[in-house]
A and B are shown apart, each in its own frame.
Chain A
Amino acid sequence: MADLAINGDSAIALAWKQIDPDVCAAYPITPQTIIVERFSDYVADGEVNTNFVCVESEHSALTLCTASSSAGARTFTATASQGLAYMWEMLPITSAMRTPVVMAVANRALSGPININNDHSDAMAARDCGWVMIFAENVQEAYDNAVMAPRIAEHHDVQLPIMTNIDGFILTHAVERMTPLDSKDVKSFVGDFKPLYPLLDWKNPVTHGVMDGPEYYYKHKYQMVEAMENAIKVTEKVFKDFKKISGREYRLVEEYMCDDAEFVAVVLGSSYGTMKAVVDELRAEGKKVGAIMPRLYRPWPDKHMTAALKGKKAVAVLDKHAPIGAYGALYADVCTSLIDMKDAPAAYNYIYGLGGKDATAKDFRTIFEDMLAGKAAKYTFMGVDE
């Protein structure tokens, strides 16, 4: 297919059209709305087989998705911010029922105060619910992640739901150049959904969503931990296969100019692009700096992050959510990957970009300047006038 000028939401809707899921149940919320609107166009024009259910809330959206997936249908949804928060009760149930639901999350600040702009407070509040989580730097990756997501979630060694995260407005609404795949390539790459123990196989009746006492609850949770661990290898394999059809190469932990870097910054989502531009700028000035993004955020790619940070002098970890009463979630994760390292780099936490506050190359440059000057603090809440 020819290159398109397209925004991130429409790119995801295009990927979904090419995948043609059996069921999609969703409730509109800014800045995800374009996904369900574009997809509704495909449904209305008969371009997909999908049964698109316009539910009355996000709680019901994720409930329908979980039940539909349990029934044996490939099922997608999309949400953001308050919608994800409203789904929260269902998030760990969807994963515990081992239903590989695919959900696009247009990352937006959580209320309150109410704010429609981008940060990662929605995703971070949902990070330990048993969902695989991947992030995108740009519209191309938003599309690519949407194509790869069902392969990761539905793999029988994983069987867990997946969140494909994109930064609200920055990626959902911004138009970028994007190279789509041919629909037949997408179809054959994703393949058929092969559910285990579907409810609709009524000749082999199964009981889904049982009650556990302590002994079985404990074991069932451990099975989820193992399945999540398996997602590391499965995701790597899916990235490898994806390169064959797209020519685009992805890694669990992306590194930019890191080989000889002494000072690195770890960041998630679209900010990675800004950070790479800052790295270019500083490299031109002879500074040994680099940028890192964990494309796969859950499961945490611990070994990969440790390898990426080995031998560095210092690492700045940028969190785009408000950890009220603790350090940033990404910072805490990065620190776990440093804990066994001999001569580990110093690690600094920067909070930035909350509620859509601009995060410019100039801002990011100060982070490297802090580290280079030995002036970085363990915790910095950026851009607040004292």
Chain B
Amino acid sequence: MSTRSIKDLTKLEPKMTSGHRLCAGCAEGIIARQVLMATDKPVVVANATGCFEVSTSIYPYTSWKVPWIHTAFGNGAATGAGVEAAYQSLKKQGKIKDDMRFVSFAGDGATYDIGLQALSGAMERGHQMMHVCFNNEAYMNTGIQRSSATQFGASTTTSPAGTAIPWKAEYSKDMTMIMIAHDIPYAAQASPHNWRDLIGKAEKGFECGGPAFLNVISTCPRGWRTPNDSAITMAQLAVQTCVWPLYEYENGKISLTADSERIATGKQEKKPLMDWFSAQGRYKHLTKDKYIPLVQTLQERLDAKWEKLLKLSKL
């Protein structure tokens, strides 16, 4: 948890300015600003192709007050790693004196799918950089197509709710656990509704001395079919239903944090999965009576995943 107060944070010079072209209600700008608040050191941002990239760098304008680089889609982590590799060389040669930090931003497409190989390579090689995934659970920049982060049952433009095939029929990949399996110094899941938890995790990621991974649930009102003012409440609901547990992996140990820790210890209510489905247009078909048994099965599956995480956190 960050020790910074809201008052302190409001005094910080924004590294990414307002006036960007993200959609109304998009959580990505909020998450990026929270992440960048977590370091006082000079930081260089690398960005994979995606919503966030195209919305902040339309020539001749830029939203960036810090050095920023984009090259392509499947290589956000490799781009960050290239800047870090240059830094390590020049620092060792005495050509750079400052202590600097490196972050790569990418969507779930550029993290879970097309960018997985480059990310895995960068993490394995031990670059001192943090990869942050804005996980809005589909390829939103190209128009809401399914990704391997899209959850079972969601309707997307390439897994539409049809008469023969009713929805996306595959479960999402557990990317955070894949990153933990790389045994990097720090990995975590976060949500922008709990800024103190998110910023605290980003602080740890920046200072862990090696590669770090931060997977952040990122509301997309266009893709999720939710109101424009729901970015924070929807991300919060993901955590309250345990669809998106908050936890971290540090020094080889998994720990639940914030809201999720409170749910685990009975200090906070665990909301039913149906609350998550009924709040979003992309799941509206699942709220029909005939799917009550299916939703029950999905709830059981989610509960089992949650229990497994609880066990891991007790190891």
Which residues of A line the B interface, CB within 8 A?
Answer: 22-23, 25, 49-51, 53-57, 59-60, 63-73, 75, 89-90, 93, 97, 199-202, 205-213, 216
Task: State A198–B185 Cα separation when bound (angstroms).
Answer: 29
Task: State A208–B79 Cα separation when bound (angstroms).
Answer: 11
Does residue B304 face the partner (Cβ distance < 8 Å to A)?
no
Minimum C-beta distance from A256 to chain B (A): 42
A213 in contact with B66 given A22-B90, A202-B100 (CB within 8 Å): no
Does residue B34 face the partner (Cβ distance < 8 Å to A)?
no
* Extra A-B contacts (20), CB below 8 Å, given A63-B118, A199-B44, A208-B67: A22-B93, A49-B89, A49-B92, A51-B92, A57-B118, A57-B121, A59-B74, A59-B118, A63-B78, A63-B79, A64-B85, A67-B46, A70-B82, A73-B86, A199-B83, A207-B62, A207-B64, A208-B70, A211-B54, A211-B57
Tell me if B60 and A216 are in contact (CB < 8 A). Answer: yes
Tell me if A90 and B72 are in contact (CB < 8 A). Answer: yes
Minimum C-beta distance from A299 to chain B (A): 24
What are 8 contact pairs spanning A and B, CB under 8 A?
A: A22-B93, A51-B85, A51-B88, A59-B74, A64-B81, A66-B71, A202-B98, A211-B53
Task: State A50–B42 Cα separation when bound (angstroms).
Answer: 24
Q: Which residue of A lies closest to B70 (CB)?
A: A209
Tell me if B69 and A67 are in contact (CB < 8 A). Answer: yes
Pick the residue among A23, A49, A57, A210 that contacts B86 (CB under 8 A): A23
Which residues of B line the A interface, CB within 8 A?
Answer: 42-44, 46, 53-54, 57-60, 62, 64-72, 74-75, 78-83, 85-90, 92-93, 96, 98, 100, 117-118, 120-122, 124-125
Task: State A202–B98 Cα separation when bound (angstroms).
Answer: 10
Tell me if A60 and B54 are in contact (CB < 8 A). Answer: no
Tell me if B86 and A75 are in contact (CB < 8 A). Answer: yes
Which residues does chain A contribute within 8 Å of B81, judged by CB atoms?
A: 53, 60, 64, 67
Which residues does chain A contribute within 8 Å of B83, judged by CB atoms?
A: 67-68, 70-71, 199-200
Which residues does chain A contribute within 8 Å of B53, judged by CB atoms?
A: 211
Tell me if A210 and B67 are in contact (CB < 8 A). Answer: no
Task: State A64–B69 Cα separation when bound (angstroms).
Answer: 12
Tell me if B69 and A72 are in contact (CB < 8 A). Answer: no
Task: State A157–B268 Cα separation when bound (angstroms).
Answer: 64
Task: State A64–B75 Cα separation when bound (angstroms).
Answer: 9
Q: Which residue of A lies closest to B125 (CB)?
A: A53
Tell me if A202 and B67 are in contact (CB < 8 A). Answer: yes
Minimum C-beta distance from A233 to chain B (A): 29
- Greatest chain A CB density within 10 A among B54, B65, B121 is at B121
Q: Which residue of A lies closest to B104 (CB)?
A: A67
Minimum C-beta distance from A206 to chain B (A): 6
Task: State A205–B17 Cα separation when bound (angstroms).
Answer: 13
Pick the residue among A67, A211, A213, A216 that contacts B82 (CB under 8 A): A67
Tell me if A202 and B121 are in contact (CB < 8 A). Answer: no
Minimum C-beta distance from B295 to chain A (A): 40
Tell me if B75 and A59 are in contact (CB < 8 A). Answer: yes
Tell me if A50 and B89 are in contact (CB < 8 A). Answer: yes
Going nearest first, the 6 A-B pairs with the smallest beta carbon separation are A67-B82, A56-B121, A71-B86, A73-B86, A64-B82, A209-B70
Pick the residue among A49, A55, A72 that contacts B78 (CB under 8 A): A55
Minimum C-beta distance from A378 to chain B (A): 40
Q: Which residue of A lies closest to B79 (CB)?
A: A67
Which residues does chain B contribute within 8 Å of A202, judged by CB atoms?
A: 42-44, 66-67, 98, 100
Which residues does chain A contribute within 8 Å of B67, judged by CB atoms?
A: 199-202, 205-208
Tell me if B59 and A73 are in contact (CB < 8 A). Answer: no
Which residues does chain B contribute within 8 Å of A69, judged by CB atoms?
A: 86
Pick the residue among A56, A63, A201 that contacts B72 (CB under 8 A): A63
Task: State A334–B93 Cα separation when bound (angstroms).
Answer: 46
Which residues does chain A contribute within 8 Å of B72, judged by CB atoms?
A: 63, 89-90, 93
Pick the residue among B68, B86, B118 that contacts A72 (CB under 8 A): B86
Tell me if A210 and B85 are in contact (CB < 8 A). Answer: no
Task: State A207–B15 Cα separation when bound (angstroms).
Answer: 12
Which residues does chain B contribute within 8 Å of A54, judged by CB atoms?
A: 125
Tell me if A200 and B86 are in contact (CB < 8 A). Answer: yes
Task: State A25–B118 Cα separation when bound (angstroms).
Answer: 13
Tell me if B44 and A71 are in contact (CB < 8 A). Answer: yes
A205 in contact with B82 given A199-B44, A211-B54 (CB within 8 Å): no
Task: State A72–B72 Cα separation when bound (angstroms).
Answer: 19
Task: State A206–B96 Cα separation when bound (angstroms).
Answer: 17
Which residues does chain A contribute within 8 Å of B100, judged by CB atoms?
A: 200, 202
Which residues does chain B contribute within 8 Å of A209, judged by CB atoms?
A: 57, 69-71
A65 in contact with B82 given A57-B121, A207-B64 (CB within 8 Å): yes
Q: Which residue of A lies closest to B73 (CB)?
A: A89
Which residues does chain B contribute within 8 Å of A51, judged by CB atoms?
A: 85-86, 88-89, 92
Task: State A90–B120 Cα separation when bound (angstroms).
Answer: 19
Which residues does chain A contribute within 8 Å of B75, judged by CB atoms?
A: 59-60, 63, 90
- Greatest chain A CB density within 10 A among B79, B82, B122 is at B82
Q: Which residue of B lies closest to A27 (CB)?
A: B121
